[in-house]
Amino acid sequence: MLTEEQAARERHKLRIAVCVSGGGTNLQAVIDGILQGAITNAEIVRVISNNPKAYALERAKCSGIPSLCISPKSYADRGEFNRAFLKAVEEAQPDLIVLAGFLVVLPQEMIAAYRNRIINIHPSLIPSFCGKGYYGLKVHEKALERGVKLTGATVHFVDEGTDTGPIILQKAVEVEEGDTPEILQKRVMEQAEWVILPQAIDWIANGRVTVENGKCRVLKAGKERREL
């Protein structure tokens, strides 16, 4: 027997738009999480890529998820691209926007319009190895250069800064002797990113994440409060 709140959630699943630029393994982790029940009360309603060659688009297609590509190259300037991108997001009427390896800087008005409703997965333990210029393989190159013994991944809400928003969830991963950036990237994805991104989405879809004074609190199951 569903409680009244559970029934209401069932009627309105969290509508997720996923923004991608590349391989889409994090998108796949979210698709699988929904299929396998690790993520409940949520559905992906649209995948948006800035890169027409992104394999993530193929993954969306294989799963029957509507997708489209908005490439900056097809627009006269950044302002035009931003407007087209924002329109593509708004059309999907998302409750939550997931940046899953999305390498485009978001328009400021989008961040304001979707305050605490945009999340990003970053392949390090923020505040290490993050900010401008830290993306993809570069993050792991820097971690190896510095000789850290632990790295990992972070899911956070997006604010006006680069990787500065409230942290939802982090997971540490060990650096091993002989790691190359590629090997470390793969381990961080397998052990951290593909675990914590679906986990964070499930918490949000079930009303367990609140933001107070710039910090996230994760409510215990049974104390949910869905604000999205």
State the nearest-atom distance from the C-beta of 108 to ligand GAR, in Å: 18
Nearer to ligand GAR by Cβ, of 94 and 123: the residue is: 123
Note whether 33 binds ligand GAR by CB under 6 A.
no
Which residues in the 156-185 window bind ligand GAR by CB under 6 A?
A: none
Note whether 100 binds ligand GAR by CB under 6 A.
yes
Which residue's Cβ lies closest to ligand GAR?
A: 101
201 in Cβ contact with 33 (< 8 Å) = yes
To the query of whether residue 122 is one of the catalytic residues in this protein, the response is yes
Nearest partner of 226 among 203, 206, 197, judged by Cα? 206
Nearer to ligand GAR by Cβ, of 14 and 153: the residue is: 153
Nearer to ligand GAR by Cβ, of 23 and 66: the residue is: 23
Note whether 121 binds ligand GAR by CB under 6 A.
yes
Total number of residues that touch ligand GAR (CB under 6 A): 17
Note whether 122 binds ligand GAR by CB under 6 A.
yes
Question: Residue from 23, 66, 72, 181 that binds ligand GAR (CB under 6 A)?
Answer: 23
Q: What interhelical angle do 55-62 and 25-36 show, nearest 10?
A: 20
Note whether 189 binds ligand GAR by CB under 6 A.
yes
Question: Residue from 24, 94, 165, 166 that binds ligand GAR (CB under 6 A)?
Answer: 24
Nearer to ligand GAR by Cβ, of 102 and 114: the residue is: 102
Catalytic residues: 122
Binding site for ligand GAR (CB under 6 A): 20, 22-26, 56, 100-101, 121-123, 135-136, 139, 189, 193
